[in-house]
């Protein structure tokens, strides 16, 4: 993720991992969805997503715009909290009746493609109903799997280091693009020694940070069909994290757990925290300090391993209205007014037209936009690591086992062995 900062990701993965692992999803040949058109040619498509009421209110406004532009297409909506969304989705998919279009994430593409749930939107692109040009920084490739277009990004984010600016200033630590992990560790020592705080919230369960570290070293967390690292690699990572806690460089995991759902950074247990850039909003809401985004440390002073990615829209293979679904997705990712309504709720807008249309006025969102622009200008962005079928279950296991390690419930060796055992089962390897 991960401490309290990744509730959405963690709860989503728990839901999908617990439910999808036990469901044999029905084959999705034939027709499904809402049914045929009405007498006047009007069709209805079902759109489902996860999120809070604020997101729902914004999305309803965008749907009103869409229905005004396409009066013959009506959109029936359904949203759930994170956990409930995936429970309901799996039930619908297993019964052969998933929503026509729905919010999705990269960790689920191969899973639901393997279960014959996802529509390849490539045909709709060829037919001219869905535009895949005008995306920022290669995001148009984000939802492509094995030559199939299974998802279209609605926003972007990237991993970042969120820092408490006064703490870093007092410690004399100045993170800059290209700083190394040795620089980072030296900075954590300065923060500990000069401010009395741990330098960082800890790296036990930040799976996507570990992925970047692996990518910096020519590996990756996932390959197209499995894990891209060894037990020795993970042993080294978790040993270093454990040593960091012992030395006071990272926050005490027990204290971090006690203050949840508040973040360790906002609770002043540490001076920084690795997370997704668009999660930065939470720190200003939770804490009393001034926060900023800093670059990811590197192994060689150049390669960060970073990529842009975020939520996306996918379609059901059973939909009776693929053209209308494609027109809906096209509208949601290209229309400038949609961006002005949604803001950065689902990440920085994925297309340049929407990015230009919404210019944030608050300092937090300005910083998020500037951070992502700095990644493009620095030339550090790369294609995302492929996620195999079962990746969501692996991620859920990584987060849970890492937390158990941090709380002293497992040794490093036990944690590594448990993770690989569960992952091999999830991936069928």
Q: Where are the domains of the chain?
A: 30-156+309-358, 159-217+231-306+408-427
Rounded CA gap, 381 and 306, in Å?
5
**Under 8 Å CB-to-CB from 359, ≥6 apart: which residues?**
none
Q: Rounded distance, CA 274 to CA 329, Å?
A: 31
CA–chain centroid gap for 161, Å, is 15
Whether the Cβ atoms of residue 204 and residue 190 lie closer than 8 Å to each other:
no
pLDDT tens string, the chain, 429 residues long: the values are 333 344 444 444 444 444 333 333 333 333 444 556 677 889 999 999 999 898 999 999 999 999 999 999 999 999 998 779 999 999 999 999 999 999 999 989 999 999 999 999 999 999 999 999 999 988 999 999 989 999 999 999 999 999 999 999 999 999 999 999 999 999 999 999 999 999 999 988 999 999 999 999 999 999 988 999 999 999 999 999 999 999 999 999 999 999 998 999 999 999 999 999 988 888 988 999 999 999 999 999 999 999 998 899 999 999 999 999 999 999 999 999 999 999 999 999 999 999 999 999 999 999 999 999 999 999 999 988 778 999 989 999 999 999 999 999 999 999 999 999 999 999 997
Architecture of domain 30-156+309-358 in CATH? 3-Layer(aba) Sandwich (3.40)
Which residues, in sequence order, are CB contacts of 84 under 8 Å at separation 6+? 15, 50
The CATH number for 159-217+231-306+408-427, chosen from 3.30.465.10, 3.40.50.150, 3.30.43.10, 3.40.190.10, is 3.40.190.10
Report the C-alpha gap between 43 and 45 in whole angstroms: 7
């Amino acid at each position: 993720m991960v401490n309290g900062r990744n509730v959405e990701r963690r709860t989503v993965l728990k839901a999908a991992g617990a439910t999808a692992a036990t469901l044999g999803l029905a084959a999705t040949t034939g027709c499904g969805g809402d049914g045929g058109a009405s007498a006047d040619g009007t069709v209805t498509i079902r759109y489902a997503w996860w999120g809070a009421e604020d997101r729902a209110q914004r999305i309803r406004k965008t749907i009103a715009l869409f229905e005004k532009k396409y009066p013959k297409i009506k959109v029936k909506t359904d949203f759930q909290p994170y956990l409930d969304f995936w429970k309901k989705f799996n039930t619908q998919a297993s019964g052969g009746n998933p929503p026509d279009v729905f919010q999705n994430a990269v960790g689920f593409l191969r899973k639901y493609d393997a279960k014959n749930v996802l529509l390849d939107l490539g045909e709709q692109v060829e037919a001219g109903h869905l535009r895949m040009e005008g995306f920022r920084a290669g995001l148009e490739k984000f939802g492509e799997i094995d030559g199939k277009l299974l998802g279209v990004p609605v926003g972007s984010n990237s991993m970042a280091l969120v820092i408490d600016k006064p703490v870093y200033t007092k410690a004399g630590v100045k993170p800059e693009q290209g700083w190394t992990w040795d620089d980072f560790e030296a900075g954590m020592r300065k923060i500990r020694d000069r401010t009395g705080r741990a330098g960082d919230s800890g790296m036990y369960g930040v799976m996507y940070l570990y992925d970047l570290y692996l990518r910096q070293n020519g590996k990756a967390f996932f390959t197209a069909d499995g894990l891209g690292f060894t037990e020795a690699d993970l042993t080294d990572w978790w040993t270093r994290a454990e040593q960091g806690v012992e030395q006071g460089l990272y926050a005490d995991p027990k204290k971090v757990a006690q203050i949840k759902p508040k973040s360790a950074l906002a609770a002043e247990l540490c001076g920084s925290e690795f997370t997704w850039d668009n999660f930065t909003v939470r720190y200003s809401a939770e804490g009393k300090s001034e926060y900023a985004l800093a670059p990811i440390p590197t192994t060689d002073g150049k390669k960060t391993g970073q990529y842009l990615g975020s939520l996306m829209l996918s379609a059901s293979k059973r939909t009776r209205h693929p053209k209308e679904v494609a027109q809906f997705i096209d509208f949601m990712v290209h229309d400038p007014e949609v961006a002005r309504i949604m803001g950065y709720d689902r990440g920085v807008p994925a297309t340049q037209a929407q990015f230009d249309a919404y210019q944030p006025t608050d300092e937090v969102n300005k910083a998020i936009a500037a951070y992502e622009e700095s990644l493009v200008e620095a030339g550090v962005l790369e294609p995302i690591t492929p996620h195999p079928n079962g990746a969501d279950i692996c991620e859920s296991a990584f987060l849970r086992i890492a937390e158990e390690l941090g709380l002293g419930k497992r040794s490093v060796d036990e944690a590594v062995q448990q993770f690989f055992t569960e992952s091999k089962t999830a991936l069928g390897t």
